[in-house]
């Protein structure tokens, strides 16, 4: 997927200001030194895939249809509607976006978060208009204790400051420690996170639209469970915004 010249110009000029004070001038994916106005080195940038053009209105995954004014639904969402209302992502999940996310996840460096937040602001534009509250996908306290931070929380907090939409990380809690979702099948993922989340203050989300921030959307098992609990507790709508999203599995 080619990204437009206008979009590239927008990213390079607007990002410049953010990166100038916040970014260490190395490629988000590898450790190559890059010019001030860039996020990726040329080699990584040539492999990164921005999600744009025709996407499923619901899950945000790319669909092979010509862009239209109509709301397009992918085959998966037509078969089974997700519990969340809309999901959007910046990149397609591939080796480059995976490395970039891992680099941010493993170091937890705030300066790596800023370029991601800038890109999330672009990808989530239509979600912010309808959002009342931003929350991260919760991390169990044991994992947070061993890692020292929740990377989705870092992104969500900065995003909240930029969009001026309130942030709260105590609304949704991970009630039990679940093994990581990576390398699990779709069925295993669903089982793994079943009843893993609990809403702490239902009165704070009644009739509100909640935006969940996470790093990658794969099968949607985790965010669907979050959405289920939030809606059960009275949320009007649940949106999801991630750095990357896997392509359809079918």
Taking residue 7's Cβ as centre, other Cβ atoms within 10 Å add up to 13
> Are 238 and 53 in contact, with CB atoms under 8 Å apart?
no
Output the smallest distance, CB 212 to Zn ion, in A: 17
Of the listed pieces 49-57, 184-192, 201-209, 215-223, which binds Zn ion according to CB under 5 A? 49-57
- Pairing, β 237-245 against β 172-174: unpaired
> What does the alpha-carbon distance between residue 53 and residue 148 come to, in Å, rounded to a whole number?
38
Residue 29 within binding range of Zn ion, rule CB under 5 A: yes
> Are 222 and 181 in contact, with CB atoms under 8 Å apart?
yes
> What does the alpha-carbon distance between residue 105 and residue 59 come to, in Å, rounded to a whole number?
24
Q: Among residues 12, 14, 22, 32, which is the contact residue for Zn ion, using CB under 5 A?
A: 32
Q: How many residues bind Zn ion (CB under 5 A)?
A: 11
Output the smallest distance, CB 75 to Zn ion, in A: 8
Residue 41 within binding range of Zn ion, rule CB under 5 A: yes
Residue 51 within binding range of Zn ion, rule CB under 5 A: no
Q: Among residues 77, 173, 193, 241, which is the contact residue for Zn ion, using CB under 5 A?
A: 77
Of the listed pieces 4-12, 20-28, 87-95, 211-219, which binds Zn ion according to CB under 5 A? 20-28
Of the listed pieces 8-16, 21-29, 123-131, 135-143, which binds Zn ion according to CB under 5 A? 21-29
* Number of residues that make up the chain: 250
> Are 133 and 159 in contact, with CB atoms under 8 Å apart?
no
> φ and ψ at 135, to 5 degrees?
-135, 155
Q: Among residues 18, 30, 72, 165, which is the contact residue for Zn ion, using CB under 5 A?
A: 30
**Binding region for Zn ion (CB under 5 A):** 27, 29-30, 32, 41, 44, 56, 58-59, 74, 77
């Amino acid at each position: 997927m080619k990204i437009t010249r206008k979009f590239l110009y927008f990213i390079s000029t607007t990002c410049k200001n953010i990166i100038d004070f916040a970014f260490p001038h190395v490629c988000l994916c590898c450790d190559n030194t890059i010019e001030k106005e860039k996020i990726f080195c040329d080699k990584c940038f040539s492999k990164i895939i921005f999600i744009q053009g025709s996407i499923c209105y619901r899950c945000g995954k790319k669909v092979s249809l010509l862009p239209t004014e109509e709301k397009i639904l992918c085959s998966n969402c037509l078969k089974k509607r997700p519990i969340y209302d809309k999901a959007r992502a910046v990149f397609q999940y591939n080796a480059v976006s995976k490395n970039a996310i891992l680099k941010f996840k493993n170091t937890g460096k705030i300066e790596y978060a800023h370029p991601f937040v800038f890109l999330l602001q672009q990808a989530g534009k239509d979600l912010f208009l309808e959002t009342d509250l931003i929350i991260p996908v919760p991390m169990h306290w044991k994992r947070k204790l061993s890692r020292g931070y929740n990377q989705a929380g870092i992104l969500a907090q900065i995003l909240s400051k930029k969009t001026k939409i309130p942030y709260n990380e105590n609304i949704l809690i991970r009630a039990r420690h679940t093994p990581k979702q990576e390398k699990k099948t779709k069925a295993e993922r669903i089982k793994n996170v079943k009843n893993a989340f609990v809403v702490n203050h239902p009165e704070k989300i009644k009739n509100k639209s909640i935006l969940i921030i996470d790093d990658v959307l794969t099968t949607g098992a985790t965010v669907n469970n979050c959405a289920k609990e939030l809606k059960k507790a009275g949320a009007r709508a649940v949106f999801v915004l991630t750095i990357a999203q896997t392509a359809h599995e079918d």
